[in-house]
A and B are shown apart, each in its own frame.
Chain A
Amino acid sequence: GQGVEQPAKLMSVEGTFARVNCTYSTSGFNGLSWYQQREGQAPVFLSYVVLDGLKDSGHFSTFLSRSNGYSYLLLTELQIKDSASYLCAVRTPGTQVVGQLTFGRGTRLQVYA
């Protein structure tokens, strides 16, 4: 079956870093996306990866290992405003729903001063 798993919570200190993990087990793989969702707000796109390795985008970096069904979102130089939920979504080559996205439950990151 389709499964995207993320830890529910993560805490880190301002100025340091946080790594948000995502593991997936899906029928096929056409890429993985990360979204940020602040409390009471809409999810906002952060990053998309489809090839193995680390994609450095400054404050946010994304790693993917397709053979292990694993990705992480790395936030560096954390700020209090980075406190939010981070959603992992895997795109599969769907049949009924073309290219369907399967979302994880999200990881709530709390950054402390």
Chain B
Amino acid sequence: DMKVTQMPRYLIKRMGENVLLECGQDMSHETMYWYRQDPGLGLQLIYISYDVDSNSEGDIPKGYRVSRKKREHFSLILDSAKTNQTSVYFCASSLYGTGVGNTLYFGEGSRLIVV
């Protein structure tokens, strides 16, 4: 079954605390992504990972870092969370890169509230 799984689904943190969002996929996809989605805004790319330890910044990487030590796992880390990082975070994967016709498979999202 093709699936992208995100944990946790819901999280409340205090400003300044560290946050770890985890993502797994069972499709052996090379490429994985972290997006955030805010009301009235489109999906914004935070980081992209082309394979293990091969990560690149997206459009809004400031305040975030990522880790990919196994092909099936991709983590998003917020060191010292800020209130403006309150958002819904989506992980996605695709078989190769974002090549012609390639489909992104999304997880169900992780809703983070920073107070």
Contact = CB atoms under 8 A, between A and B. Distances in A.
Interface stretch (B13-21, B67-75, B76-84, B96-104): B96-104
B58 A42 contact: no
Contacts of A96: 56-57
A87 B97 contact: no
A42 B90 CA distance: 8
B98 A42 contact: no
Given A97-B58, A98-B97, A101-B98, A42 B43 contact: no
Given A42-B108, A44-B106, A45-B104, A99 B99 contact: yes
A31 B100 CA distance: 7
Interface in A15-47: 30-31, 33, 35, 40-45
Interface of B: prevailing SS? loop
Interface string A43-83: 11100101000000000000000000000000000000000
A106 B109 CA distance: 17
A48 B45 CA distance: 19
B42 A87 contact: yes
Contacts of B98: 91, 98-101
Given A96-B56, A97-B58, A50 B101 contact: yes
A101 B104 contact: yes
A50 B40 CA distance: 27
Interface of A: 4, 8, 30-31, 33, 35, 40-45, 48, 50, 87, 89, 91, 96-106
For the complex of A and B, 3 pairs with smallest distance between CB atoms: A99-B98, A42-B106, A103-B42
Interface of B: 4, 40-45, 48, 50, 56-58, 90, 97-109
9 contacts: A30-B100, A31-B100, A31-B101, A43-B90, A97-B48, A99-B98, A100-B45, A103-B43, A106-B42
